[in-house]
Structure 1
Amino acid sequence: MELLRGAALLLLVAAAAVCWAQQDQGCTCSKNKRTTNCSLSSGTCQCMSFGSHVPVRCDTLTSKCLLMKAEMAGLKKAGRRERPKYAYVDNDGIYDPDCENSGIFKARQCNGTSCWCVNTAGARRTEKSDTELKCSELVRTSWIIIETKHSERSTAVDASRLKETIKNEFNRRYLLDPKYISDVVYENPYITIELKQNASQKSPQDVDIADVAYYFEKDVKGDTLIQNGMLHINISGEPLKFGQPLIYYVDEKAPEFSMKRLTGGVIAVIVVVILAIVAGIVVLVITQKRRGKYEKSEAKEMNEMQRELNP
């Protein structure tokens, strides 16, 4: 009996030692390179997001907010202060965001001198204002349109196969349920990928389409966030190489921009068009005046000729 108790005690000690070793053992975060202090706990790798020290799961995607914050922390650590090479479609570029403990963006973002409201993708949806600005809610981005194109190929791309391949790869690499890819449109060489995901559709286990779009954008730009290498999509046995993507966000509520939102280039175009219209009106008026003078002069000359013929 004592022998059995001793054996059981040894098994308990061995099990405790194994558990301790697993918890103490380091690991690699497969879905996020921008992590630190990784450890294996109960067979699951857990890490801290770089720059914010928020715990993240390594078996799913990290939120875009934490990824942007980690990137900014890396730029500051490296001593860089200039804007990164790539900017977002809304022309605000990358910024150091404020994130909730859950990893999502806070509705209001500030840079010290001004504040603005963002959507769940972190894109600005209001004018920049002073620090007194209030953002009542974080508006959800329910529709994301990704526009890209592929480089020259020796073989043609089958549109139906492309759609199926992209759905499978987004599911495998980004864990996105194919039901959230509403359409893939191909017009050689342009590819449009539409992601749709309402708040009522998304379960706690589903990845967010805003995070998926960000991971894809980083993959295409050669700055992958995933440990197991770059994105590889093959069609007809030939790799499909994507060009720089444009990503558009459609929110559940319309953005709140005014004429101040117009960029200098758009304003310049409007000014040129207005000047062209004004110039056209001026030319028309001058032409009409000259025509009137010519008609009067012609009538006067005709009267003089008639008097000379009939003295």
Structure 2
Amino acid sequence: MESQFGILLMLVLVVASSGQEGCTCATNKWTVCTQDVAGICTCTLVGSNHRVNCSTLTSKCLLMKAQMIPRKGKRFHGPRNGFVDNDGIYNPDCEDSGVFKARQCNQTDTCWCVNTAGVRRTEKGDKSLRCSELVRTSWIYIELKHKKMSSAFEDPEVANALEHLFQNRYKLHPKYIAGVKYNSPFIQIRLSQKDFEKSDNDVDIADVAYYFEKDIKDNSIFHSASTFNVSINGEALAIEKILIYYVDEKPPEFSARRMVAGVSAVLSVVTLTIVFGVTVLVILRWRRTGKYKKVEIKEMGETRRRPNLQLP
């Protein structure tokens, strides 16, 4: 009788163990999942009680917070390259819905305002800083560079492969893919999502860009990381560099002092270049004629910094 009870108990444990192994979050490996007696699988974000919807992408804010939670004495691997604004990864404050709070602060009580992608858009200040609203990132530009190949791909082939990837792997509606341009070895992907366009069921382009960046850097957020693969005509598209640019619906609010410092540096370089050029010209003319001739240096006009990208 005892032996039969022992066998029965062992079978129950085996079934329970196999059930727990099947209880995972396909879209987020940074979760803790449990299965109840009814077979319902519930997953929460690691280090918190925040429930995760595993049928869609987890918000970037919650993912960044999960990365800051120590696990077995170590942190999750952060991005090798920080954000374009060089603030890097931080421990964000998130709303219950998972979106970033408009104002973010660190442990030294230094605060700043962010956009919906969590990227800083103001100067840093103290706790008296006020952020009136969470400004939406309406455009995201992703620049890629693939490794050297024997022959370049065709532009339509690259566009079709990447559009298919974003629609199927990241569940992004095709209307938010503004375009894909290819000029070997460089690829530019444009994502556009206005505030009035996005419904509650649509994934956010900031979340998509974050998942994509992690996939490219071999630190996939998906539970089955090995499934990431972009191939064109059977040949893998090996990406070696990625840069992401964020464009908000409203311009950033950086102080004029920071802009003046940058313009002053540019003017200094331009001035030195002109003086050097004029000096060389005078020396050459003096050697040729044997006489010194006055060379007039005209006043420089306003110098403007050109944007890296052309917005539509």
- Whether TM-score is above 0.5 comes out as yes
- Are 1:98 and 2:116 counterparts? no
SS at structure 1 position matched to 2:225: coil
- Are 1:146 and 2:132 counterparts? no
Q: Is the 8 A contact 1:116 1:127 kept in 2?
A: yes
- Find 2:45's aligned residue among 49, 53, 66: 49
User: Which is greater in Rg?
Assistant: 1
- Are 1:181 and 2:181 counterparts? no
Q: Is the 8 A contact 1:65 1:103 kept in 2?
A: yes
Counterpart residue number, 1:252: 249
Q: What TM-score do you get using the length of structure 2 for normalisation?
A: 0.75
Counterpart residue number, 1:89: 84
1:1-311 → structure 2 map (5 Å cutoff): 27-39=23-35, 45-74=41-70, 77-78=73-74, 85-111=80-106, 112-230=108-226, 231-261=228-258, 270-276=267-273, 291=292
Q: Is the 8 A contact 2:152 2:185 kept in 1?
A: no
Q: Is the 8 A contact 1:36 1:47 kept in 2?
A: yes
Q: What letter corresponds to residue 117 of structure 2 in structure 1?
A: A
Taking the aligned partners of 1:41 and 1:187, their CA distance within structure 2 comes to 55
Q: Is the 8 A contact 1:127 1:261 kept in 2?
A: no
By how many angstroms is 1:276 displaced?
5.0
Deviations 1:88-119 (A, max 9, x none): 11110111111111110000001133110000
By how many angstroms is 1:244 displaced?
2.1
Higher helix share: 1
Q: Quick one: structure 1 residues 53 and 178, their matched pair in 2 at CA, closer, same or farther if it must change by over 3 Å? A: same
Deviations 1:21-45 (A, max 9, x none): 9x98971110001112444697764
Q: What letter corresponds to residue 99 of structure 1 in structure 2?
A: C
Deviations 1:207-227 (A, max 9, x none): 000000000000111110011
Q: What letter corresponds to residue 147 of structure 2 in structure 1?
A: S
Taking the aligned partners of 1:56 and 1:126, their CA distance within structure 2 comes to 31
Q: What letter corresponds to residue 209 of structure 1 in structure 2?
A: I
Q: What TM-score do you get using the length of structure 1 for normalisation?
A: 0.75
Q: What letter corresponds to residue 61 of structure 1 in structure 2?
A: L
The number of residues matched between the two structures is 270
Q: What letter corresponds to residue 67 of structure 1 in structure 2?
A: L
Q: Is the 8 A contact 2:112 2:124 kept in 1?
A: yes
By how many angstroms is 1:184 displaced?
0.2
Q: Is the 8 A contact 2:114 2:134 kept in 1?
A: yes
Question: What RMSD in Å do the two structures reach over aligned CA positions?
Answer: 3.6
Taking the aligned partners of 2:268 and 2:261, their CA distance within structure 1 comes to 10
Deviations 1:63-99 (A, max 9, x none): 000000111113794179x986321111101111111
Q: Quick one: structure 1 residues 253 and 41, their matched pair in 2 at CA, closer, same or farther if it must change by over 3 Å? A: farther
Q: What letter corresponds to residue 144 of structure 1 in structure 2?
A: I
Q: Quick one: structure 1 residues 83 and 234, their matched pair in 2 at CA, closer, same or farther if it must change by over 3 Å? A: closer
**Alignment gaps of 5+ in structure 1:** 1-19, 294-311
Counterpart residue number, 2:300: none
**Alignment gaps of 5+ in structure 2:** 1-15, 283-290, 295-312
> Segments of 4+ in structure 1 off by > 2 A?
23-26, 37-46, 74-77, 82-86, 153-156, 258-285, 290-293
